[in-house]
C-alpha cells in the first residue's frame, strides 16, 4: 500500500542531497573563478596579450659606403635597395594551398619552398617564407589579403660600381650580417640598432588601437662611411693588376697604395677577385679573402729596406759603410748564406746592398747591431726594430675582417737563434702581411711616424657634410728624421741607379723602390727553392727629395710563370706604370 509519508520523506531527503550537490558545484565554480580571476589573473592576462599583441622589428637602415672621388668628391660603392621578407603566423593561416600558390606565382625564386611544410605547425608564430622580395612583388602579395601572412621591410646591398673593390668591401648575407672586408669589420657601425613596434592587433595581425600596450622604440640607422679609397685610383689599380696578371700568370696578385703622411689606404686590390653582388655564386671561398691583409708570408728582399733602416737608426752603419765579403757567401753557425747576384763586388756599400740585393750585406747589418757578430745583443736590437717599432707580425687594426698576424720568434725563443735572425734580415724565417710591410716602410720614409693603416676617411652626415676621421699616430720617432731622409735617398738610388727602372720614370720626380724575390718551400723536398717564388716591389712616389712622398706602393705576384724573377720584374714594371699614372692624376709637380 502506498505510504505518502514515506514518499515525502524520501523526496525531502533527495532534495536535500541535490541542494548540497548544487551548492558544492557552485562552490567549485566560485573557487575556479577566484583562481582564474584573482590567483592566476596575471597569467591569463599575459596569455591574452600574447595572442593580441604583435611585436614588429623596425629595421635600422644599414649605412651606405662611399669612396672618395678626386680631391673633394665622393662616389657610392655600396647602397641599399628596399626589399621585403614574407613571413607567416601558422596559427592564423587559413588556406595553406592558396598561400603557396600566390607566393610561388608572385615571388618565384625568392621563395623558400622547404618552409611550406611547416605551415601546418600551429605551435610556430613566425615562419619566413620568402626573402628579398621586391616592392612590386610585395604589393601584389598584399593585394591577395592572405590570412596569417605578413611583410617585413628590409634592404639589400647594391653596387653602383659593379665588382670594384669587392674584396676590401665584403658583403652582407641574407640575414643582414656583414661578412669579410669593411662590411664584416664594421658590421655594428654600419648596421645600426633596430627598433621595436608593439601594438594590439586583431586575428589578422592588423593593429587595432593605440593604448598602453602600444610602444615604439625608434631604430638608429647605421653610419654612412666615406672610405679613404679613391675610386679612380682603385679602378686604375685593379685594371693594371689584371693586365699584368695576364702577362705572367701568377696564382695570385695583390697591391696596395697608401698615403704615408696619414696611414690612409687609397687603393687595395687582389686578382682573381669576385663580384660582391653575386657572392652566393662563389664556389672558391678563398676569393672572399683580401690577401693584402689576410695572407702572411715570407716577404723576401723588400725587408732589406727595414733592416738597413734599423742599422742606420741604431748608428751602427752609414749609407757609405762597407761589408767586406770576397766570396759572396758567409757561414752562420754552420749554415751558409749566399748572394743570388755575383758581380765581383767584394766589399759592397750600404747602397750597393740594396741596389744588388746582397743577402750578405743585410746579414752584416745584424752583425753590426751585435758589435761585430750575430749574437743575443744584435738579435735583441733587430727584434726591437722589427717587432716593437715597425710592428711586423702584429695586426694593424685596419678595418678589414680576417686580418692575419704573422710569425716572428723573439730572441728569447729557442727558434729565435742566430741563423733565423740572419735569414730575417733579408726576409726569410718570419712572416708578415703586405700591409704590415707597407705601413712600416711608410714610417721609414715619412720622417719616422708610424700611422695606423686605415680605410676610413670619415662619416657622411645627414646634411651631406663629412666628419673626417683623424689619423692615429701609433708611435712617433720610429726612426729619426735623419734616418728617414737617408732611407729616402738610398731607396731612390736603388731604383734610379738601375738603368731599366730609371728609364721608366719621368724626369724630375723622386721615385724610389726595391724588388723582392722570396723563395718558398718546395712541398716535395721541404727546402727553399727558386722554382717557386713570390715576386714583389715596394717603393714610393713623390715630387721632391725634401718632402714626404705622396704615395707608398707595394705589389706582389705569387708563383709567376717565366722564371725565378718573373714576378718581381712584372711587379717593378707595374709599379713604374702606376707611378706615372698617379703623377698625372694628382698633378704632382716635379722637383
Q: Which of 401, 364, 369 is nearest to 382 (CA)?
A: 369
- Joined grid coordinates for residue 470: 683623424
Res 500: pLDDT: 82
- Asked if 490 and 350 count as a contact pair (C-beta separation under 8 A), the reply is yes
Q: What pTM was computed for the model? A: 0.85
pLDDT reported for residue 194: 85
The per-residue pLDDT for 505 is 94
- Residue 532: the pLDDT is 86
Helix (H/G/I), strand (E/B), else coil: 358: coil
Q: Which domains does the chain have, with CATH numbers?
A: 82-159 (3.30.70.2110), 228-586 (3.40.710.10)
Which residues of the chain register pLDDT less than 70? 1-4, 7-8, 11, 30-31, 33-56, 198-215
Q: CA nearest 220: which of 72, 60, 380, 337?
A: 60
Neighbours of 373 (CB within 10 A): 13
What's 261-322 look like in SS3? Answer: CCCEEEEEEEECCCCHHHHHHCCCHHHHCCHHHHCCECCHHHHHHHHHHHHHHHCCCCCCCE
Q: In whole angstroms, what is the distance from residue 53 CA to residue 165 CA?
A: 45
Local structure of 244: helix, strand or coil: helix
Instruction: Report CA 577 to chain centroid distance, whole Å.
Output: 28
The pLDDT of residue 196 = 78
Of 489, 471, 477, 474, nearest to 447 by C-alpha is 477
Task: Report which of 223, 374, 370, 361 is spatially closest to residue 305, judged by C-alpha positions.
Answer: 361
Tens of pLDDT, residues 161-220: 999 999 999 999 988 899 999 999 999 999 999 887 766 665 555 555 555 556 578 889
340/322 Cα distance (integer angstroms): 18
Q: What's the mean per-residue pLDDT of the chain? A: 90
Amino acid at each position: 500500500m502506498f505510504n505518502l509519508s514515506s514518499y515525502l520523506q524520501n523526496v525531502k531527503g533527495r532534495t536535500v542531497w541535490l541542494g548540497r550537490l548544487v551548492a558544492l558545484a557552485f562552490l567549485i565554480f566560485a573557487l575556479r573563478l577566484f583562481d582564474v580571476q584573482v590567483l592566476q589573473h596575471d597569467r591569463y592576462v599575459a596569455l591574452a596579450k600574447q595572442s593580441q599583441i604583435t611585436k614588429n622589428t623596425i629595421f635600422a637602415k644599414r649605412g651606405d659606403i662611399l669612396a672618395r672621388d678626386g680631391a673633394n668628391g665622393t662616389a657610392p660603392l655600396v647602397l641599399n635597395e628596399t626589399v621585403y621578407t614574407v613571413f607567416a603566423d601558422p596559427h592564423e593561416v587559413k588556406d595553406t594551398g592558396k598561400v603557396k600558390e600566390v607566393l610561388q606565382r608572385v615571388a618565384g625564386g625568392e621563395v623558400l619552398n622547404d618552409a611550406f611544410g611547416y605551415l601546418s605547425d600551429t605551435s610556430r608564430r613566425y615562419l619566413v617564407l620568402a626573402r628579398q622580395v621586391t616592392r612590386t612583388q610585395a604589393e601584389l602579395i598584399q593585394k591577395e589579403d592572405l590570412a596569417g601572412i605578413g611583410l617585413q621591410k628590409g634592404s639589400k646591398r647594391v653596387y653602383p660600381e659593379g665588382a670594384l673593390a669587392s674584396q676590401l668591401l665584403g658583403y652582407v648575407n641574407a640575414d643582414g650580417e656583414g661578412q669579410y672586408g669593411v662590411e664584416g669589420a664594421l658590421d655594428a657601425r654600419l648596421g645600426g640598432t633596430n627598433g621595436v613596434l608593439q601594438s594590439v592587433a586583431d586575428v589578422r595581425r592588423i593593429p587595432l588601437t593605440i593604448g598602453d600596450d602600444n610602444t615604439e622604440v625608434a631604430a638608429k640607422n647605421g653610419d654612412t662611411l666615406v672610405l679613404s679609397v679613391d675610386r679612380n685610383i682603385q679602378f686604375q689599380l685593379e685594371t693594371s693588376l689584371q693586365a699584368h696578371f695576364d702577362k705572367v700568370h701568377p696564382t695570385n696578385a695583390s697591391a696596395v697604395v697608401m698615403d704615408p703622411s696619414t696611414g690612409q689606404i687609397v687603393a687595395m686590390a687582389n686578382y682573381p677577385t669576385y663580384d660582391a653582388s653575386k657572392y652566393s655564386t662563389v664556389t672558391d671561398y678563398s676569393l672572399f679573402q683580401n690577401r693584402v691583409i689576410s695572407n702572411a708570408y715570407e716577404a723576401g728582399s723588400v725587408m732589406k729596406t727595414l733592416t738597413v733602416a734599423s742599422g742606420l737608426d741604431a748608428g751602427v752603419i752609414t749609407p757609405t759603410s762597407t761589408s767586406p765579403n770576397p766570396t759572396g757567401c758567409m757561414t752562420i753557425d754552420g749554415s751558409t748564406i749566399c748572394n743570388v747576384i755575383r758581380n765581383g763586388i767584394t766589399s759592397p756599400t750600404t747602397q750597393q746592398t740594396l741596389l744588388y740585393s746582397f743577402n750578405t750585406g743585410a746579414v752584416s747589418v745584424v752583425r753590426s747591431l751585435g758589435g761585430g757578430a750575430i749574437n743575443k745583443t744584435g738579435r735583441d736590437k733587430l727584434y726591437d726594430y722589427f717587432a716593437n717599432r715597425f710592428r711586423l707580425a702584429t695586426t694593424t687594426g685596419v678595418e678589414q675582417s680576417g686580418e692575419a698576424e704573422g710569425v716572428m720568434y723573439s730572441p728569447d725563443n729557442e727558434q729565435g737563434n742566430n741563423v733565423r735572425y740572419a735569414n730575417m734580415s733579408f726576409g726569410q724565417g718570419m712572416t708578415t702581411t703586405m700591409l704590415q710591410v707597407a705601413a712600416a716602410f711608410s714610417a721609414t720614409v715619412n720622417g719616422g711616424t708610424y700611422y695606423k693603416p686605415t680605410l676610413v676617411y670619415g662619416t657622411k652626415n645627414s646634411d651631406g657634410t663629412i666628419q673626417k676621421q683623424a689619423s692615429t699616430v701609433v708611435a712617433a720617432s720610429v726612426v729619426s728624421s735623419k734616418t728617414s731622409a737617408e732611407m729616402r735617398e738610398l731607396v731612390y738610388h736603388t731604383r734610379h741607379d738601375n738603368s731599366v727602372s730609371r728609364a721608366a720614370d719621368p724626369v724630375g720626380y723622386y721615385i724610389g723602390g726595391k724588388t723582392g724575390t722570396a723563395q718558398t718551400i718546395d712541398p716535395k723536398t721541404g727546402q727553399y727553392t727558386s722554382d717557386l717564388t713570390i715576386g714583389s716591389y715596394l717603393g714610393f712616389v713623390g715630387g721632391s727629395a725634401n718632402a714626404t712622398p705622396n704615395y707608398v706602393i707595394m705589389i706582389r705576384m705569387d708563383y709567376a710563370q717565366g722564371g725565378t724573377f718573373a714576378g718581381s720584374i712584372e711587379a717593378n714594371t707595374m709599379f713604374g706604370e702606376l707611378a706615372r699614372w698617379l703623377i698625372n692624376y694628382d698633378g704632382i709637380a716635379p722637383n
